[in-house]
């Protein structure tokens, strides 16, 4: 059954550090440069070109970053969408000519990083009744973006609020769910 904007509490974008971006390397580099893990930061992520969901994403929507893989999967960032637009065209490394319609959309966002020790682990989400049935846990191989329902996003905000200050929840716009 297709989803509508009314179904969306927040978008879940996914990263697999084994097959793609070395997310933990990025965290380590930021930490070694003195960047606060709790500072609001800008980032972007590609959305699947095959997913019709990308057309539902709007500026201001809430977003969470799910880092998957064999070690410590879970929610590592929470924030909001600032812009969705076409990704940069590939360079000339033999990828071939792509039409603009074949390029993935890029979701730009502002977020707070929870860090390695503060992330919301998959096991915690599985143990939280209002999150245990979420799409990310039921169908982890779904394309980017996935989503949490309104009720699930409220439940995630409750879990985050135990770990983060009211100030950071406001800065990330997740205070709107509490």
Query: What's the total number of domains in the chain?
Result: 1
Q: Is 25 contained in some domain?
A: yes
Triad 141, 57, 28: Cα angle to 5°? 60
Q: 44 in a domain, yes or no?
A: yes
pLDDT, tens digit, for every residue of 93-106?
444 555 555 667 89
Does some domain include residue 69?
yes
> What is the average per-residue pLDDT within 100-120?
85
Q: Is residue 127 part of a domain?
A: yes
CB hemisphere CA count around 135 (13 angstroms): 22
Please report whether residue 163 resides in a domain. Answer: yes
The per-residue pLDDT for range 26-80, each reduced to its tens digit, is: 777 776 666 566 789 999 998 887 888 989 999 999 999 999 988 899 999 999 9
For the record, the structure tokens of 27 come out as 């965290």
pLDDT of amino acid 156 = 99
Q: Is the pTM of this model over 0.75?
A: yes
Let me know if residue 83 belongs to a domain: yes
Residue 129 pLDDT > 90: yes
10 Å Cβ neighbour count for 107? 24
Q: Is residue 112 in some structural domain?
A: yes
- The reply to whether 1 falls in a domain is no
CATH of the domain at 37: 3.10.590
Q: Between 42 and 116, where is the model more confident?
A: 42
Which residues constitute the domain of residue 142? 7-90+102-177
């Amino acid at each position: 059954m297709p989803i509508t904007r009314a179904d969306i509490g927040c978008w879940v974008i996914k990263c697999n550090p084994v097959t793609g971006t070395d997310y933990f390397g990025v965290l380590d580099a930021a930490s070694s440069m003195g960047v606060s893990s709790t500072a609001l930061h800008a980032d972007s992520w590609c959305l699947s070109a095959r997913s019709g969901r990308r057309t539902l994403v709007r500026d201001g929507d809430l977003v969470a970053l799910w880092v998957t893989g064999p070690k410590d999967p879970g929610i590592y960032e929470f924030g909001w969408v600032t812009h969705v637009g076409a990704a940069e065209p590939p360079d000339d490394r033999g990828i071939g000519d792509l039409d603009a319609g074949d390029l993935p959309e890029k979701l730009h966002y502002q977020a707070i990083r929870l860090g390695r020790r503060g992330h919301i682990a998959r096991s915690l989400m599985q143990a939280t009744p209002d999150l245990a049935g979420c799409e990310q846990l039921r169908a982890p191989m779904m394309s980017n973006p996935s989503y949490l329902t309104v009720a699930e996003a409220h439940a995630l905000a409750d879990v985050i609020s135990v770990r983060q200050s009211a100030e950071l929840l406001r800065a990330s716009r997740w205070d709107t769910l509490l």
